[in-house]
Every structure is written in structure tokens, then in C-alpha cells.
A and B are shown apart, each in its own frame.
Chain A
Amino acid sequence: MTDTAIAVDHLVKIYRRGKTEEVRAVDDLSFIVRRGSIFGLLGPNGAGKTTTIRILTTLARPSSGRATVLGHDVATHGLDVRKQIGVVIQEQAAELLLTVRDNLLTFARFRGHAGASVRRRAFDVIAQFGLDSVADTKVQDLSGGARRRVQVAKMFMIDVPVIFLDEFSSGMDPILKRSVIDMLREQSAAGRTIVLTTQILTEAEELCDDILIINKGRSIARGDLHHLKTLVDRLYEVTLSFERVPEDIEDNLVGFHPEEVSITHGTLRLKLRDEESRVLELVSVLARRGRLLRIEINGASLEDIFVELMQKSGGRS
């Protein structure tokens, strides 16, 4: 059995706008997703993430190039691909006229699951997603956030090897999101491959083993978070919390040229692009200026990497 769950090879998707204009939504994209990994596809609005997901889930056909899911070609063996995948599409998708419970049971039936064991599983999933109180309420009577929860909950009713989640966390509160992230990690540890797109970079930072950043349909950067951090040189975020921030503390920053400075409620935050020794030197100077409660020095966040890569690649799509 090969280690590859998804293989994308020189994929191109061209949409026609009017009679003459062409939009290359995906432009010569190639990547591989390992089995059992959590793969994040990131990019600004219009970067081509959703189009890529639509092709991989057989909702759209590629204009050229090839993509396979567990060895099945998405263009020529769509049904074989669909037997292996579960998809949370970007748009809200639920049977509005059915109850939450019936949504889960109906979804499971498409995988051939019915009977007492599925009803028990639905009971558990409803509890995991905090939907107990509305289990027998029609989805049309729920809020947008609750509908999204129903949509994501459906993925936990089936045991397909690959799951696609397009902006899965929209409408979820932080506690539920944390719980879903934990569940996704468990699923991944059990061998499921998870492909997700998100605009919330901390989510990707926390969840993804492997990240591909795209813009204008093209690959900009690829790797795990550690590798991506090496792409943004010498960028540090420094946080110092004082009992009281000295009034003239900004005088100490002269010569270090921080990219960002903010002082709020006794906390000084800096973003610096410099040698590590110089950053430590500055921190040592600042630490002597008042009674210090906390120091934190971080390398670039995924958000920093993302912003910098977008700027390098010519801005947003």
C-alpha cells in the first residue's frame, strides 16, 4: 500500500467568464498528501483553494493535469473517489426540513449504515457536538452556527479514509472548535487523511502536519510549520509584561527599528527583524527598566509567514 493519499500533478482549472475572458483558478498545481496526515491548504480569498477541493471531491473537472485520491483518478473514476471521501463543503449544507438526528441518519445511509448501531453513533455524535437539546429540532429552525455543526458532525458518522473540510470552523464557538480539533487529531492518529482549508491561520498552525500555501492558483510555499518558519528570516515577536510599563521605554527601542510596537495594559509587544543576539540584547535592556512579570520570545507565526509570502508573490488574488 502506497503512502500517498492524494496526488495532484500539474493541475489546471480554467473558468470562462463571458465569451473571451479566461480565469485560471488553479494554475499548474502539484502536491502530494500523505496518508494519515492533516494537510492544510491555505491562501487568501480567490487563491484557488475551494476550486482545488472541488476538483478533488469530483464537484469540478480539471481543465488539464491529473489528480488522484487513493489511486483513483478524480476525472475518470469519480464514483470510486466518492466512495473514499467525506466532504464538508464551504457553503452550509443540511437537510433543512429534517431534524438534526435525521440529518445524521440520512447521511449515514448513503454509506450503507442503518440500524441500531448507527442510531447509537448518532446519539454520541450529537452529544459530542453539543446538539443534544436540538436533536429533534428541524435544521431550518437552528442558527447558522448550529447548522454548520450539524454539517461537520456528519463526518463523524462515517469511516471513510479521506475527509475534506472547507472552512470547517466557521460559526463554531471556541470551546466546540477546540473539541473538534481534538477529534480531528484523533481521527488522523487513527489513520484518516484530513485535508482542510481555512482562513484562520492559528487553526492551521495548531492542526496541520503539512501546509501548502497557494495564491492565484499557484503554489507559494510548502512544508510543515517548522520549515515554513525558515522562509521568513529573523522575524521575532517579543512580549514583555511589566507591573507598570516605564513611560520612556520607547527610547530604548531606538536603533532596533521594530516593525510593530504596541503597549496595552502593562504589556509591551514588539515585532523585530534582526539577528537573534540583537533581539536578546534588546530584551535584556528592556527587562532592567521595570518590575517584569513575564517574557515571551517567539519566532514568526503562520500569520507572519502568510503575510510575507503573499507580499512576495504579488499580493492578494
Chain B
Amino acid sequence: MSTRALEAVLFREAKIRATNWTFIFWDLLYPLGYLLVFGLGMNASLGFTSELTGLDYNAFFLAGVLGMASFGIASNTSWSFFLDRDNGIFYEMLTYPLSRSQYLVGKVLFNVGIALVQALLTVALSALLLGVRLEVRGLPLLVAATVVGTSGWFFFYAIFALRIRRNDTFNAVTSVFYFVFLFASSMFYPLEPLPRAFRFVASLNPITWHVDVLRYATIGVGAPRMIALEAGGFVLFTLVTFWLSVRALERE
């Protein structure tokens, strides 16, 4: 894959995002804000009981917040297809000397960078401000899960952003995705006490796989064999969504 083409898309994305520092600031700090407001509130008002003894909600929710942030960045990045279409630049870019896959990978690279900075900042500050005890050994896995996770969700959203022509329809679809994917998963609560049917659905949800890997990477919770299976599942999910998003772009 030509690095020149990737570098050009990366440069373009960075140039556009650099025009709005508020947005970058929000991107970097909003998961932490979520953790501080929602996590702290839940912890203080409802307490936290689970089979995961010795764990408070802040520690548990850290991985959920990281997963949610990747999901959110991916959704925002795919929404930019609509902006590019409205500006006409989307179609012009399809005549540039880069392949469709380079276009998609380049587009996600900058946002993967943002997601990485965001994840490392959130993890570090959760330890400093909330006293979350981190698994330092899990750092490489955290980096890998953030990179693959953000990419996988971007490719997933890109399939819909490229096939759906109206941004109001796309917004409706993403709202449904947010509801279904986020709540039917291990993002906000442990799955063990939940009804069997709920647990079954959540176990098929790639958000659960992603968040479980992030949880293992940050606080070391989870069975290694199961985590390996979930990580493999998510990599497969990413490859399939990448292929489908390239196909969708080729049909433009």
C-alpha cells in the first residue's frame, strides 16, 4: 500500500480537524468526563456489587468508556462522508491517485491517532484521579485494542454511511446502533447477573468482545482463553467490515 497516498489522506484529515481545536479537545477529554460524571455518580449513588469482588464501578467502567469512545470516534468519522459529499470533495477525491482501500485506511488513521491519545489520557487520569489500579503489562494490548477497535467500528459505520444517501436516515440508524450495541453489551454492567437471553445476545455483540479485551488490558479482569477468542472475533469482524466498506466505496 503506497505510503504517499496514506500520508496525503492523513494530512488532509489532520488539516481539517486542526481547524477546530474545540472539537479535538472534546474528542480527547470527553471519555474522561463521562467516567468522572457517569462513573463516579453510579459508584457513589448505587454502589457496585458483582462477582468481580474488590472492584469499584470506576475501574469496571473504564473499559466501557474506552470502548464507547472508539465507537463514538468511528461514528463521527464516518459521518464526515456526508460532509464531504455535500462539499463535492468526496467525488473529486475518488479521482485522486489512491485506491479505495487507501482512502478508507487513510481516513481512519488520523482518528486512530486521536483515539490512542484519548485512551492513554483517560487511562492515566483514571488512575490519578479515581485511583483505578491498572495492569501496566496490558499496555500493548490496550494500544492494539484501541487501534483495531476504532478501525473496526469505522469500517462498520462506513458501510452504512456509503450506502445511505440521506444524513437524517444515517443519524436514525446510528441512534439505533448506539442503543442496541452499547446496552446489549458488557459496557455498562457485568453480564453475569443478567437473564440468559440477554447474556446470549451480548455475547454475540462485537462491542462486548471489544470492551472485554479493553477491560483485560486495563485492569486484568477476564479469562485469558475467552479474551483471546473475543480478540480473534473482533479482528475477524474488522476484516469483514473493511472488505464490505471497500466494496461499498467501489459502488459509489
Q: With a CB–CB cut-off of 8 A, which chain B residues contact A151?
A: 92
Binary interface encoding of chain A residues 65-85 relative to chain B, with 1 for a CB under 8 A from any of its CBs, else 0: 000000000000011001101
Q: Which of B5, B16, B19, B252 contacts A110 (CB 8 A)?
A: B5
| A95, B88: Cβ atoms closer than 8 Å | no
Among A74-100, those with CB < 8 Å from B are 78-79, 82-83, 85-87, 89, 91-98
User: How many residues of chain A get a CB closer than 8 Å to chain B's CBs?
Assistant: 27
Q: Which candidate, B94-102, B183-191, B222-230, is the interface stretch facing chain A?
A: B94-102
Q: With a CB–CB cut-off of 8 A, which chain B residues contact A97?
A: 16, 19-20
Binary interface encoding of chain A residues 150-162 relative to chain B, with 1 for a CB under 8 A from any of its CBs, else 0: 0100000000000
Q: With a CB–CB cut-off of 8 A, which chain B residues contact A95?
A: 12, 15-16, 87, 89
* Interface membership of B4, Cβ < 8 A: yes
Q: Which of B5, B16, B92, B98 contacts A87 (CB 8 A)?
A: B92
| B97, A82: Cβ atoms closer than 8 Å | yes
Quick one: closest B residue to A83, CB to CB?
B97
| A93, B87: Cβ atoms closer than 8 Å | yes
How many inter-chain contacts with C-beta < 8 Å in the A-B complex?
68
Q: With a CB–CB cut-off of 8 A, which chain B residues contact A102?
A: 15
Q: With a CB–CB cut-off of 8 A, which chain B residues contact A89?
A: 88, 91-92, 95
| A79, B88: Cβ atoms closer than 8 Å | no
Quick one: closest A residue to B100, CB to CB?
A78
Binary interface encoding of chain A residues 27-63 relative to chain B, with 1 for a CB under 8 A from any of its CBs, else 0: 0000000000000000000000000000001110000
CB distance from B76 to the nearest CB of A (A): 15
| A93, B97: Cβ atoms closer than 8 Å | no
* Interface membership of A115, Cβ < 8 A: no
Given contacts A106-B12, A110-B5, whether A59 and B94 have CB atoms under 8 Å apart is yes
CB distance from B91 to the nearest CB of A (A): 6
Given contacts A98-B15, A98-B19, whether A110 and B97 have CB atoms under 8 Å apart is yes
23 contacts between A and B (CB under 8 A): A58-B94, A58-B95, A79-B98, A82-B95, A82-B96, A82-B98, A83-B97, A87-B95, A93-B88, A93-B89, A95-B12, A95-B87, A96-B87, A97-B19, A97-B20, A106-B15, A109-B8, A109-B11, A110-B97, A110-B98, A112-B4, A112-B8, A151-B92
Which A residues contact B (CB, under 8 angstroms)? 57-59, 78-79, 82-83, 85-87, 89, 91-98, 102, 106, 109-112, 138, 151
Known: A83-B97, A89-B91, A95-B15. 19 other contacts (CB 8 A): A58-B95, A59-B252, A82-B96, A87-B95, A91-B88, A92-B87, A92-B88, A93-B88, A93-B91, A93-B92, A94-B88, A96-B87, A97-B19, A98-B19, A106-B15, A109-B8, A109-B12, A110-B5, A111-B97
Which B residues contact A (CB, under 8 angstroms)? 4-5, 7-8, 11-12, 15-16, 19-20, 87-89, 91-92, 94-99, 252
Which 7 A-B residue pairings sit nearest by Cβ, starting from the closest? A93-B88, A93-B92, A91-B88, A87-B95, A83-B97, A110-B8, A109-B8
